[in-house]
Amino acid sequence: MKFLPLIWATLWRKKFRTILTLLSIVIAFLLFGVLETVDYAFAHPSQGQSGADKLVTINKYSITLSLPFSHARQISNLPGIAEVTWLTWFGAYFKESKNFIFALPIDTASYFKVYNDDFVISHDQMLAFSNTRTGMLVNSALMLKYGWKVGDKLPLHSTIWTQKNNSLDWTFDIVGTFDAKDPLQASQYSTTAFFHYELFDEGRSFGKGTIGWLNERINDPSDSAGMSSKIDALFANSPNETKTQPAKEFALAFIKQLGDIGFILHAILGAVFFTLLFLTGNTMMQSVRERTPELAILKTLGFSNNLVLAMVIAESLLMCVIAALIGLCLSYLALPIIKQGLQGVELSPRALLPGIGVAVVLALIVGLPPALGAMRLNIVDALADRH
């Protein structure tokens, strides 16, 4: 510890260069913290009880393949099933394709029984929705975004479902608004609107009597795996076999359809740290070269080769570890924001812990070459070069 002031002073010998290097490492570890946390969440799905009573049943081979409506009735008769509802991907946008609206045709009675604690809707507006065939409930954030108001007619263009007149344009009446009861789920529903499944099924020109997927609420959340197996066993060896899983696992699997998330995240981190190695390594090499005469003087004062080696490595460790800690702390502060954008994904701060080890390894890799050079430094040659 007695050499710490000396190491600290040499680290700030060129302040501007040190600050730029520190900022580079901070940004790298901010990315490391964020991406590793997301990757860890996908690799270790939360087993907590929040939402554990919800299951999702899709076609065994692809969510794009429909299921017959009769599946809902058979599942609802299973012991342990509290409620069953059904949905279909509508694929809608408002005026332009960039204005995506997550419009969901729902069975009003069963949907709000499955998700009985998820939404805040006034009694009057729920009643208006139930009694209006073309009615639609729109998220409050979405209403605010487009300046809509209750009573407006809302034209939506579906990318999939044509009506009987072969038009892809559907018109709804906004009869009410809703909000997520849990503030952390607000962003999940910020583009959502609900309309009646009966209107959708009767109005579409194909696919009548089919559903996209089913959502179930079970009585015993601890038996989600057992109930999933029982549901799938109902339709084993049938033309429409199913795959049932907890809602959180379904959300993760849905996101993973975009690609191999783990590979993408690690590829990004690999590129970042590969670049960082050259940047930081070059900085350390240049710093040691500039101090060659000073290191030679230290040796003449009695500093051993091993001590000089240790001081240079300690300088690298100090720079990398301090910057890494700052970057990891910033990524920790960003977790609540990321969580809002990845609903159903639990983010654990424990994924940040390996970052300290990575910082130490990085420091050793970039610090060892110049440290070995300093250790092997010949006093006479170094002082001669000074003159």
pLDDT band at 47 (very low <50, low <70, confident <90, very high): very low
Lowest mean pLDDT among 129-138, 223-232, 246-255, 284-293: 246-255
pTM of the model: 0.63
Mean pLDDT of the region 202-206: 94
Give the pLDDT confidence score for residue 49 in this predicted structure.
41
Q: Find which of 4-8, 39-43, 162-166, 379-383 is predicted with most confidence, using mean pLDDT.
A: 162-166
Instruction: Read off the pLDDT band of 167 (50, 70, 90).
Output: very high
The mean pLDDT of 139-154, rounded to a whole number, is 95
Residue 51 has pLDDT above 60, yes or no: no
Phi, then psi, of 24 in degrees rounded to 5: -65, -45
Mean pLDDT of the residues in the chain: 84
**Where residue 50 falls among pLDDT bands split at 50, 70, 90?**
very low
Q: What pLDDT digit, counting tens, does each position of 61-72 carry?
A: 887 889 999 999
Tens digit of pLDDT for each residue in 332-364?
888 777 665 555 455 667 778 888 888 888 888
Please report the pLDDT score of residue 279 as a whole number: 79
Q: Look at residue 64 in the predicted model and tell me its pLDDT.
A: 82
The pLDDT value given to residue 48: 42
